[in-house]
Structure formats: C-alpha cells, structure tokens
Amino acid sequence: MAKRIVIDPVTRIEGHAKISIFLDDAGQVSDAEFHVVEFRGFEKFCEGRPFSEMPAITARICGICPVSHLLASAKAGDAIMAVAIPPAADKLRRLMNLGQIVQSHALSFFHLSAPDFILGWDAPPATRNVFGLIAADPALARSGIRLRQFGQEIIEALGGKKIHPAWAVPGGVRSGLDEEGRARIRQRLPEAFATAEAALGIFLKALESHREEALIFGNFQSLFMGLVAPDGGWEHHGGRLRFTDSTGSVIADQIEPARYLEFLGESVQEASYLKTPYFKALGLPGGMYRVGPLARLNVCEHIGTPRADAELKAFKQMGRGAVTSSFLYHYARLIEIIAGLEAIERALEDPDLGSGDLRADAGVNSLHGVGASEAPRGTLFHDYTVDRSGLLKSVNLIVATGHNNLAMNRTVAQIARHYVQGDNIPEPVLNRIEHGIRCYDPCLSCSTHAAGQMPLRIRLVGPRGNVLREVVRG
Ligand code: MG
Ligand code: NI
C-alpha cells in the first residue's frame, strides 16, 4: 500500500513548509514534494495602490529579505517612469545589495548549515544549531555572527536603523553615504575578509568528508538562470538574463528582464501552492532551472575581482560543463561573500557615493514596468502594470524559492531515495533531507508572503491520511 511521509515544517529555514515523501507499494521512495503554503493574497492586495508606494509595501513582505524587494520594486518603478537613474543612485543601490548578499549568505552558512558540517549529521538536533556551534567553536561562531552584522551595518548605513522602508524609491535613492559612513565600513573589511576565507577553508575541508552528499544532494542536470553583465561577468543588480544548460552552453543570453514572460512559463503544481516557473522552450520537465549562488556562478564567465575570480576557477573545475550539485550552493555562497566584500571595498573608493544627485523625478511614462535584481537566493522579479495615474492594475512577483521549486522537489526525492528505507526515518536521515532544502537557502517568508517560524513537526502519514508517527522538535 502506498504511504506518505510528511515532514512539517522544515527547521532552520524561515517560514512554513512541509516535505512529503511518497513510498510505493514495495516501500521504495517513488517521489517527494516540498510544499510551500502560499497566500496569493499579497499580489491582489497591492492592486489599486500607487506604484510609488510599492518599495515600502513590498519591503514588508519579508523580514529576511526586505532589501531585495525594496530594490527590485524601485527598479520596476524606474521602468514605469521610464527614467535612467543618476549613476550615484545606482551605485548606492548596488552597495546595499552587496550588504544584503553578505549578511544573508553569512546567516545561511554560519547559523543554518555550518552546524551540520562542524557538529555532524548525527549530532543531537537540540544542539545541532548555532548555539551548539557557539559551544563547540565560540571563536568561529562569533566571527560568523559578526560577518552577518557587517552586512547589516552596510544596509543600515545607507537605509537607516531599521531599514528606512522607502530608502530606494522609483527614480533613485533618498540619501547617499558620507565619508564617515564609508570609513566605518572600510575599517571592518579586513575582519570580514578573514572570516570569509576561514569559512571557505571549513567548507572545502568538509567537502572532503562529504563526497557522498555532494553526489546525491541535488545532483542532476538542469538549466541555470541569472543576471550577467554585458561581457558575461557576474552581476547582482543590473545586467540581463542568461540561461545555460548543464553542459555549460548558453541557451539564451542578454535577455531584457522585462521580457521574462517570453522565456518563462508558470505552472501551478497540484500538490504545491507555489507557482513553479520553467524555461518555456523546453517545457516540463526539461525546462527546470535553478537560480541563486550556484546558478550565478554557473552562468557568469568571470567575477571581476581577483580573489573571487581565483576561487571561481576552482569552482568551475568541479563540474563537467556546469557545476550540477546543489550541495555546492554552499561553496558558491562563500565565493559570493568574497566577491561581495571585494566589490564593497572597491565601491567605497568611488567618490560618486557622496554625490547629491540621487533621484530622477518623473510621472508615469510607461504603463508596465519590470524590476529584476539578484536577491541572495536568486533572481527576483517585480512586474507592475499601472493606469495613467500610476495606480496598480496588476502585480506579479516571482521569488527565488519559486524558481527553485522544481529543483528542490527533485533534490528531496534524490536524497530520500538514497537514505529512506521503509517508513521509519531516523533523525540523521531527516536532517539530510532538510539539508537538501537548506542548500537552496529558501526564504519561505517570501514565498508564503507571511513572516514567522513554526516549531518543527515531523509526521509520518499513512495512505488514508492517518498520522503513524509524530515528532515535535524545539
Ligand atoms: Mg507571482
Ligand atoms: Ni524573503
């Protein structure tokens, strides 16, 4: 008799989700799904609001990535006003996005994933977390926490204490960064670099003893999507879309983000509430693609800063063509921290940051605007249609967790197939399944459009929906 194992929700990722593992009659894993309960209401709720309010409104979608929404929304507003924003405003937005990438990647590595590498898969779940890490290696944990704070301080230096909800606005930004602010950031850079290099060392060492995980934690062919610069370089806020396949070949390039609907189809999977985009020309399942750090490093040809470029070379050698293991999202994330720090260091020397020309002003010059930005987790689209007076007629948001949804399902199925036998899932196996999801660092708050974390509930559900076993964690 077919059985269903439900893990609900996943720990150490924000929001609320559950995993279902489907067993066939022989007790073998036949499939798996990562469910996110999306409250579609948010896009509808925005209708009728002025587009100029959207940066502030959408920054509140999520307590984890307000910066990403703020920036993508401001960009969509630029398109509706049909303006080129002042160069200083673009550089300041970029600097804030770099701060966001550093702080979010540091959180993902040190708080959420490093406990598995340092304390082990089999460590008791009560201590296999950042507090356990503090107990086991206080210096490492502290430096990880400080690296995250460094990214947050950049965001605060620009946007104000609790991130001014409307620092980035259609047409530009509200304020620049003075020399004192720059000096404070500059002074913290050496420590941030040292921590990032230490994290890289830890991961590369962990990789030696995690060869099996690297082979089965989401290791499959897929497409990859990310923004790239005009010369094919790494991009995080600007540029155009590139798609590559698992051989590393470019299959679509320099696509204006506003044209995303020509390339992406959106399907609603029966069992999941999250919309699942795919590369239209290849249909499903061939059009499955991944976004985020792994994808960005796969689609780009170079990063443009020395330390990150040296590491990118080593990264690219881990795949024939593209790097196809989602376990290497961790590696890509750490390389992006270094890339981010180098880019921040460079940006601080740009005299434009102190410029007073920060904002272009205009009314509605286009009834449709799309803003795309690379959020830490992957490409974020804000797509607005407005009337002549700038009131929103429709809103479409595509978040990274949506792009990666099919790949996350595939990852869970691959791990479950390898480790799950019968209907008893021991704790270390549960943890490996969860880690498969954590590789993508999904922001469930964004996907569900509701903040908050639920306690962990693991349920083993029989064929008639009857709960065979339930485990409650922390
Ligand atoms: Mg949407
Ligand atoms: Ni989010």
pLDDT at 52 over 90: yes
Q: What is the whole-number distance in angstroms between the Cα of residue 327 and the centre of ligand 1?
A: 27
Q: What is the pLDDT of residues 235-287, one digit of tens each?
A: 999 999 999 999 999 999 999 999 999 999 987 665 555 668 999 999 988 99
Query: How does DSSP classify residue 236?
Result: S
Mapped onto helix, strand or coil, the DSSP state of residue 29 is strand
**Residue 359 confidence (pLDDT):** 96
Closest ligand by atom to 67 CA: 2
Contact between 408 and 33 under an 8 Å Cβ cutoff? The reply is no
What confidence tens digit (pLDDT) does each residue in 185-208 have?
999 999 999 999 999 999 999 999
DSSP strand pairing (3-8 vs 456-461) = antiparallel
Would you state the pLDDT for residue 457? 45
Residues pairing with 456 in the sheet = 473
The pLDDT score that the predictor gives to residue 174 is 93
pLDDT score of 452: 32
Task: For residue 48, report the distance from its CA to the centre of ligand 2, in Å.
Answer: 23
How many angstroms is it from 67 CA to the middle of ligand 2? 9
Ligand 2 center–CA 22 separation, angstroms: 29
- Whether omega for the bond prior to residue 165 falls within 30 degrees of 0, making it cis, is no
Q: What gap in Å lies between CA 100 and CA 111, rounded to an integer? A: 16
Task: Give me the pLDDT at residue 426, please.
Answer: 81
| Cα(403)–Cα(379) distance, integer angstroms | 8
Residue 7 has pLDDT above 60, yes or no: yes
- C-alpha radius of gyration, the chain, whole number: 22
Cα of 449 from ligand 2 centre, angstroms: 8
**With helix as H, strand as E and coil as C, how does 404-466 read?**
CHHHHHHHHHHHHHHHCCCCCCCHHHHHHHHHHHHCCCCCHHHHHCCCCCCCEEEEEECCCCC
Q: Within 10 A of 362 (CB to CB), how many other CB atoms are there?
A: 12
Q: Is pLDDT at 122 greater than 50 in this prediction?
A: yes
127-136, 222-231, 422-431: which is most confident: 222-231
Please name which ligand lies nearest the alpha carbon of 43: 1
Burial classification of residue 153, based on how many CB atoms lie within 10 Å of its CB (0-12 exposed, 13-18 middle, 19 or more buried): middle
Burial environment of residue 426 by CB neighbours within 10 A (0 to 12, 13 to 18, 19 or more) = exposed
Average pLDDT, the chain: 87
List the structure tokens of 169.
């606005």
DSSP 8-state class, residue 234: B
More confidently predicted of 390 and 58: 390
Domain ranges of the chain: 3-38+419-473, 84-219+325-345
Tokens representing 375 are 């959020």
How many alpha carbons lie under 13 Å from residue 217 in its C-beta half-sphere?
Answer: 22
What is the distance between the alpha carbons of residues 453 and 455, in angstroms, rounded to a whole number? Answer: 7
pLDDT of residue 129: 82
Are 307 and 261 spatial neighbours (Cβ–Cβ below 8 Å)? no
Whole-prediction pTM? 0.92
Q: Tell me the per-residue pLDDT of 417-449, one tens digit each, with 9 for 90 and over.
A: 898 777 777 888 888 888 898 899 988 777 654
How far, in Å, is the centroid of ligand 1 from the Cα of 97? Answer: 22
Ligand 1 centre from 414 Cα, in Å?
27
- Domain range 84-219+325-345, CATH architecture: Orthogonal Bundle (1.10)
